[in-house]
Every structure is written in C-alpha cells, then in structure tokens.
C-alpha cells in the first residue's frame, strides 16, 4: 500500500526539511507531510538523532521507506561525505551514485554533489541544488532541449548553465551567508528583523548593479554611513544591505565570461519565494526577464526522480 | 613635575590602548606606559569602569592628567557621541572641538571624528584615524605641502587624500571586519589561527587585484572550493582569504574616481606592522611603492598634537 512512499530530506547548511511523499502512478508527486529541523552547521546532537527525530513517526506508520538525503549533509562538514560528479552531467545520473548506509536498521541514501572546473583550474561545487535542477528538468519536457541559465538563491547562490539537459558549469556566490553574517554580527546593522522596505532594497541594488568597477569593497560601508547621515533608517538598513548584496551577485553573473546573460529568454529562478522575487526584481532593473519557480514543488519533483 | 604628562586612549571597535606619555620640551613624545583593554563592541561592563580599570594606577601616581579618547568610543555605539567635522579640514583643528565631560572627578575629552561627502550625496566617516593623520603630519614638516594618499588598514581600511595638510576626502573598506567574520563564522574556514602562509596570501591577492570586473561575489567561494580540491591546505586558507580581501580593497582604491593612485610617489601606510606589510606587498604586485610607518609612534605624535 505504501510502496510508492518515499522520504526526501533537503538538509542544507542552515535548514533541514524532511518530506514524506507519495509518487503517483501518473508520475506526479504528492506531499503527505513535512518536518523541519536544524541545518548541518547548527547541529547540537548527532546527525542520526536529528534525522530520526524528524522522520520516526513516519517510519512507525509506514515501515521501511526509501530515505534520500541531499545537501550539505553529504559534505565534509556533514554526516558522511558523498562524492562530487563532474560536469558536464545530466542530473538524472545522480541516482547511479548514491552513498548508501544503514542507520537504525533503515537504508539511507545520500545524493552525490556535482563539481565543475572553470578556466582549467578553478573548481566549484554544489550539493542539494543538483536535486532541484533534476526537479526543474522533470517539470517540463521542453527543459531537456536548449540553453538555460538557472539562478538558485539561498545560503549560497548557484548560477547554472544547462544545455540540452546537461549541467555544463556553474558559479557560486556567498550572498545569503554574507547577508546573515553582516546583519547579525557586523557594525552595519544595529536592529535586525525589521520588515522588508522596497525603496531601501532598490536603493541598495542600484548602488551595486550599476557599478562600473564592482563597488563591493568601497561601498559596503554605505550601509552604515547612510544611517549616520539620515539617508537610511535603522529599520530599512537590512533591506538596503539585501539589495546591495543581490545587486553585487547579479552584476557578477552579468559579467561572467562563461555566458551572455542577454542571450537567454528568461532566467529560471528556484529559491525561497521572497528571496526569488528579490532576485527577479533586481534582474528587471537591467531589463532581464525571469521566471520564478515554486521551490518546494521543484524539490519534490527532484526527489521523485531518484526512484 | 608631571605637567607634561598626558593620557591618550585609542579606543576602537575591537581594542582599547591607553598610553601614558610625556611631551618633552623639544616637542618629542615619550611613552611611559601602555595598558590594553576591550574595544567598544566587546564591552561587558560600563565604559567608565573599563577606562578607569586601565588608567587608575596612573591617576593615583600622577594626579589630574589630561585624558584624551579617540576612536569608536565617540560614536553612536560608544560612550558619548562626538560630532563629525566635515572635510576639507586640517587635522590640527580637531583640538578645537573636543566633547568634554567629567568622570570620577577627572576631565575626559573625546576627539571629534571627520566626515566627507563624495559625489554630492555619499557620506563617509572616520573616528580615530584623524588622530593618526595628525601624528603623520607632525612626523615630518614636508607632509604639510603636496598631495598624499594615506592607507590606514585595520578593522576598516581608510584611504585618505591629503592636499597641503588638509584631508580632502576619504573612503572606507570593511576589509578587517570581513576577514574576522569570514574566518570565525563562515563555511570558508574550518581551522582558524594558523601561521601566515606567504604563497597562499599572494595567490589570494592575485585572484582579486588582477580581476577585470571585480571578483568578490563570484570568487570568494574559491577559499572553500580550493580546499576541497587540494589546491589550498586548511592551514593556508586564512592567508589566502587575507590576500583575497586585501586585493579587493586595493583594487577598489586603484579604481577610485577620486584620485589616480599612480600619481603618488608612494602610498603612506599606517597600521599594525604585519597588516601594513601585507598591504605594502599587494601594492607592490601592481608596482606601487609604499612607505610603512610605525603606527604606535604616529598615534603618540597624534596625541601630542592635541595639547
């Protein structure tokens, strides 16, 4: 009765999200239940305990289900280190290289990450996003043909070039991690957690997206100096910083030698809803169209592709 | 007997350094004693307690001495907020605008900061560096004539344009603060506190100083990916990151529209010895000459100029 049930766990640096899903005979995937937990860098107990705290009730109800983990849980700072498969690669191939082991009598499979090499000797890596790219490929058969640029914002933004269903190469920007560090630990932000301020966000984005030489080093301090001179309220400073960092990230993607951003009909954005909208909005400043996808739907489609 | 004694306290974001000095009749300044304490952002007790914990023994020995404070202690996150004097300004003028008050019966004077306005509406500020610039002016009478570019690395680097003894304008880069955050709190560095590695430092610096478009956003992650692919050891990662960030900072200074770096005979560097040497070395990659000054001597000369 439950032979089409799977457990998929998206276990990144900052969050754990465990999904109990049913794969319908049509190939559709239905979400039955979700549990949330702590990311890899925030663990206080063992990875095994954290996992089973989340999924034990499901295992009790439904017995031995396939358990798939993806994300930083398979990295050198995670539970068991899974390999990186080199680009170019069709994401469907990740299911041939699981790192599988037994925990509390259950088989657990960690999805491998993907690596690429730029300019002969510069490597980049992803873990977790390969599953979302797989989900995005399953979303629409047309995605298997043609050139696409995907933008996956999160703790780290991944910019991914796909040609005919194969990941060719990708680039990482630490935009989300920088935002977290700078809002919680730096001199720039004294009051964290205010509401989103659209005007401040756009002001920050315009500061960097339009910069000729890359304004990061000598403009970041403007987050503070603008507050000192009443050009930015304490409550809007986080939004300005968010725009500033996303502007830097998109500017770098526009200047990347590996693709011409204007050659794509639309940039495919896969990330948390508000964050995705933020990236879409800054792209629109430069008249670049984008399509924002439902990240949960894409992630579940990815897990369904692992069977 | 002690009428030429003063107490000068350089009280920044991360450190407090209290100096007991004698101003000789020749104008020279002699250091009698130093005490160290916690910076403004690291306080656990009141600013008053922290100050007197450091200087009480001197007051008991020598009675009422002038007490001068400079740095972030005079900022909005400090003890009492001192004003910012606008550029252009001769640093000697800071002694006309002390914020003075009485604490435990002693007169305490906080040195004002300095502000400047770039491109009509972008403000920048300094606190503490104005005292060092005053010290640098006192170091050599020739400094009162001509054009100079000063580089003051620290928690925040300040790049300062001086013409005929007046600060014209300056720019801030948060290089030191970013380095601290990224080494202690980010995914980039797993083992902090290793020895300086010259080769890794230069590799990081070359990554950014020679970047055409500004490599920050899409290259910072190389600190981690290079470790994953054995191009950088865990122990050398901090040095690579240091070079990376200093390279970004200097690249931005070279691209600044407010000056032409090549027009200066030598860049005048005032900062902690190792950090100053690091900046000097990265400048030399671009064939830019620099002069590294003794920051303690310069700071003491600055305090002597307040009388």
Tell me the per-residue pLDDT of A75-93, one tens digit each, with 9 for 90 and over: 988 999 999 999 999 999 9
Q: For residue range A197-226, list pLDDT tens digits in order.
A: 999 999 999 999 988 777 788 899 999 999
Res. A125: pLDDT tops 70: yes
| Closest CB from B182, B190, B228 relative to A125 | B228
Residue A228 CA to residue B115 CA, distance in Å, equals 10
Rounded to an integer, what distance in angstroms lies between the CA atom of residue A88 and that of residue A73?
Answer: 23
Residues of B in Cβ contact (< 8 Å) with A223: none
A214 versus A32: the higher-pLDDT residue is A32
Residue A239's closest CA among A286, A189, A285?
A189
Average pLDDT of span B215-222: 88
Predicted confidence at residue A304, as pLDDT, reads: 93
**Chain B residue whose CA is closest to A190:** B77
For residues B42 and B233, which has the higher predicted lDDT (pLDDT)? B233
Q: Do domains B5-141 and B173-293 have the same CATH topology?
A: yes
A201: which 2 tokens? 């966000």
Mean pLDDT of A48-52: 96
- Which residue in the block uniquely carries the two structure tokens 């290289």? A97
pLDDT of residue A3: 78
Say yes or no for a CB contact (<8 Å) between B214 and A252. yes
3-class SS at A278?
A: helix
| Domain range list for chain B | 5-141, 173-293
pLDDT tier for residue A28 given thresholds of 50, 70 and 90: confident
For residue B179, give how far its alpha carbon lies from the nearest alpha carbon of chain A (Å). 11
Residue B1 in this model has a pLDDT that exceeds 70 = no
Average pLDDT, chain B: 94
Q: What is the mean pLDDT of residues A100-116?
A: 97
- Does an H or E element contain B13, and which? none
pTM of the entire structure? Answer: 0.94
For residue B253, which residues of chain A lie inside 8 Å, CB to CB?
A: 218
Nearest to B252 among A172, A217, A252 (CB): A217
| Count of CA atoms in the C-beta half-sphere (13 A) of A158 | 25
pLDDT at A60 over 80: yes
* B42 confidence band (pLDDT: 50, 70, 90): confident
Q: What percent of chain A stands above pLDDT 70? A: 99
- Asked whether the beta carbons of residue A252 and residue B217 sit closer than 8 angstroms, the reply is yes
A109 confidence band (pLDDT: 50, 70, 90) = very high
Q: From the list A77, A125, A213, which residue is nearest B214 (CB)?
A: A213
Q: Cβ separation of B187 and A125 shorter than 8 Å?
A: no
Share of chain B above pLDDT 90, in %: 87
pLDDT of A1 over the 70 cut: no
> What band does B45 get if pLDDT is binned at 50, 70 and 90?
confident
CA B143 to chain A, closest CA, distance in angstroms equals 26
Options 3.40.50.720, 2.170.190.11, 3.90.1640.10, 3.30.420.300; CATH of B5-141? 3.30.420.300
A124, A174 Cβ separation under 8 angstroms: no
Give the pLDDT confidence of B29-39 residue by residue, as tens digits.
899 999 999 99
pLDDT digits (tens, 9 = 90+) for A133-147: 999 999 999 999 999
Distance CA A30, CA A199 (A): 39
Q: Where residue B194 falls among pLDDT bands split at 50, 70, 90?
A: confident
Judging contacts by C-beta atoms under 8 Å, the chain B residues touching residue A41 are 187
Query: Stretch A16-34: mean pLDDT, rounded?
Result: 91
What residue in A sits closest to B159 (Cα-Cα)? A218
Structure-model confidence comparison of residues A4 and B212, the more confident one: A4
pLDDT digits (tens, 9 = 90+) for B70-129: 999 999 889 999 999 999 999 999 999 999 999 999 999 999 999 999 987 899 999 999
Query: And the tokens for B144?
Result: 């009162």
Q: Tell me, what's the pLDDT at B163? A: 98
pLDDT band at B192 (very low <50, low <70, confident <90, very high): confident
Across the beta sheet with B157-163, what order do the strands follow? B166-173, B157-163, B147-152, B267-271, B290-294
Q: For chain A, what is the mean pLDDT?
A: 94
Could you give the CA distance from residue A244 to residue A203 in angstroms, rounded to a whole number?
Answer: 8
Minimal C-alpha gap between A260 and chain B (Å)? 15
Q: Would you call A221 and B190 a contact, using CB atoms and an 8 Å cutoff?
A: no
Collect all residues of chain A within an 8 Å Cβ-Cβ radius of residue B77: 187, 190
One of 1.10.1060.10, 3.30.420.300, 3.40.640.10, 2.60.40.10 is the CATH number of A5-127, namely 3.30.420.300
* Residue range A173-293, CATH number: 3.30.420.310
Select from A171, A187, A231 the Cβ nearest to the Cβ of B177.
A187
Taking the CA atoms of A173, B188, A116 and A10 in sequence, report the sign of the dihedral they define: negative
Q: In what order do the strands lie in the sheet with B5-11?
A: B29-38, B15-23, B5-11, B67-70, B106-110, B99-103
Minimal-distance CA residue of chain A relative to B213: A213
Say how far apart CA A240 and CA B69 lie, in whole Å: 32
Task: Provide the 3-class DSSP secondary structure of residue A163.
Answer: strand
Assigned token pair, A79: 């539970």
pLDDT digits (tens, 9 = 90+) for A247-301: 999 999 999 999 999 999 999 999 999 999 999 999 999 999 999 999 999 999 9
Cβ <8 Å between A218 and B173: yes
Q: What's the maximum distance between 2 C-alpha atoms anywhere in chain B?
A: 66
Q: How far apart (Å, rounded) are the C-alpha atoms in residues B48 and B37?
A: 12
Q: Residue A55 pLDDT > 80, yes or no?
A: yes
Nearest to A217 among B77, B115, B248 (CB): B248
pLDDT computed for residue B13 by the predictor: 86
What pLDDT shows up at residue B191? 80
Give helix A175-185 / helix A237-254 axis angle, nearest 10°.
160
Joined together, the tokens standing for residue A175 give 């935009």
Rg (CA), chain B: 20
- Which of B83, B218, B249, B261 should be substituted to probe chain A, the one whose Cβ sees the most A Cβ atoms within 10 Å? B218
Q: Do the chains contact at B41 and A187, CB–CB below 8 Å?
A: yes
């Amino acid at each position: 009765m439950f032979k089409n049930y799977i457990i998929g766990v998206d276990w990144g640096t900052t969050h754990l999200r465990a999904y109990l899903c049913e794969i319908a005979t049509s190939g559709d995937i239905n979400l039955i239940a979700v549990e949330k937990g702590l990311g890899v860098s925030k663990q206080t107990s063992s990875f095994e305990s954290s996992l089973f705290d989340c999924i034990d009730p499901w295992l009790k109800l439904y017995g031995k289900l396939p358990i798939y983990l993806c994300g930083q849980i398979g990295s050198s700072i995670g539970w068991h280190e899974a390999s990186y498969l080199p680009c170019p690669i069709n994401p469907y191939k990740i299911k041939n290289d699981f790192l599988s082991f037994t925990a509390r009598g259950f088989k657990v499979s960690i999805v491998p990450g993907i690596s690429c090499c730029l300019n002969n000797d510069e490597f980049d890596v992803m873990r977790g996003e390969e599953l979302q790219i797989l989900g995005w490929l399953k979303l629409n058969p047309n995605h298997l043909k043609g050139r696409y640029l995907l933008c996956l914002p999160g703790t780290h933004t991944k910019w991914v070039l796909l040609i005919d269903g194969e990941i060719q190469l990708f680039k990482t920007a630490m935009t989300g991690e920088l935002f977290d560090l700078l809002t919680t630990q730096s001199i720039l932000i004294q009051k964290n957690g205010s509401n989103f301020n659209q005007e401040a966000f756009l002001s920050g984005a315009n500061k960097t997206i339009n910069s000729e030489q890359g304004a990061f080093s000598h403009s970041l301090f403007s987050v503070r100096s603008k507050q000192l001179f009443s050009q930015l309220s304490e409550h809007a400073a986080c939004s300005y910083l968010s725009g500033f960092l996303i502007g830097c990230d998109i500017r770098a993607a526009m200047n990347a030698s590996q693709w011409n951003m204007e050659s794509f009909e639309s940039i495919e954005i896969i990330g948390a809803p508000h964050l995705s909208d933020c990236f879409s909005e800054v792209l629109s400043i430069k008249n670049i169209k984008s399509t924002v996808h439902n990240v949960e739907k894409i992630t579940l489609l990815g897990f369904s592709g692992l069977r």
